[in-house]
Amino acid sequence: MEVLLVKETDIRRSVSLDEAISAVEAGFTRLAAGEVNLPPVMSLDMPEVKGEVHVKGAYINGSESLAIKVATGFYDNPLLGLPSGTGMMMVFSARTGFPQALLFDNGYLTDVRTAAAGAVAAKYLARKNLEVAGVVGAGAQGRYQMMALGKVRAFQKVLVYDLDKTRLDSYVAEMPEILGVDCVAAEDVESVVRESDILVTCTPSTEPYVRSQWLHPGLHITAMGSDAPYKQELDSSVLARADLIVCDHRGQCAERGELHHGLEDGTIGERQEIVELGDLTSGRHPGRTDEKQITVCDLTGVGVQDAAIATLAYEKAVQGRFGSALEI
């Protein structure tokens, strides 16, 4: 029996953002239809070394494969000259349970599938006509989010903020050529929120930094940094001001997302309508219905995204005949 070992370089050249967005959107639609076996997230938190490990996975009914992803975040890694996040995905036969492939993507597939979910959220929740896209967090995800946004919405400028000036300067210097628009460094988070038509937050912050008094009519916010109970980017009052709240998975967000904090402090109630992203992709909910609505999408990262992107990467490897076969 053979297992296919696929390297990051092959995965990067074969899995595009466009394909990832389509695969992830289809995955959310299947999730909304009850056609996904989705286990709870397994987390290992190591605050003494500023590290965390998340294990996610899913089986999409009728698929020939299932996938499990291990993603790590060690936030002092940049001090060692290493990226803060990495990981790998494992693909198994849905018929026999035997491993089919190990995808050594070093976090690329997680970056892409996360950005793809942000693009799906923007497709249904952001206004059609955007001028300024704001992003807080100038790391890899801050880059991928804007690249993915550009696939579903046109915008004229990116306003970006990061506590790390070196990372911020690199973003402003490098991303205009990639995005084809001006990228401007903001002085603070407040100016990003006030001046943007769409805001994406992608930091591992444990303290909320987006305030409700900065919001304005027509703004859409995608918050995707809060993937653990102790993380929070939005003050709970932001949820209270929103006209529409969307999340990737209601149960998961209630445990580890921005919703978790809103429910915990009573800012939002258990009975308040919270729409899932799959309700939008499946047509069950229209998403934004008014240009002046304030909309918020809470993304914690769902295993169906990993199953969708891992299956796509595996199929690409088989079709393209790349990767190394390991006899087991």
- List residues with catalytic annotation: 69
Q: Is the Cβ–Cβ distance between 245 and 263 less than 8 Å?
A: no
Residue 254, H or E segment? helix 250-256
Give CA–CA dist 267/33, Å, rounded: 29
Element (H, E) at 111: helix 108-125
d(CA 299, CA 256): 10
Q: What does the alpha-carbon distance between residue 302 and residue 253 come to, in Å, rounded to a whole number?
A: 10
* Residue at token pair 């809060």: 226
Please count the CA atoms within 13 angstroms of the CA of 43 that sit on its side-chain side.
17
* Element (DSSP H or E) covering residue 275: strand 275-276
- State residue 213 phi and psi, 5-degree precision: -70, -10
In whole angstroms, give the CA distance from residue 262 to residue 256: 11
- What burial class does residue 283 get, using C-beta atoms within 10 Å of its C-beta: 0-12 exposed, 13-18 middle, 19+ buried? exposed
Nearest to 55, CA basis, from 37, 71, 73, 67: 71
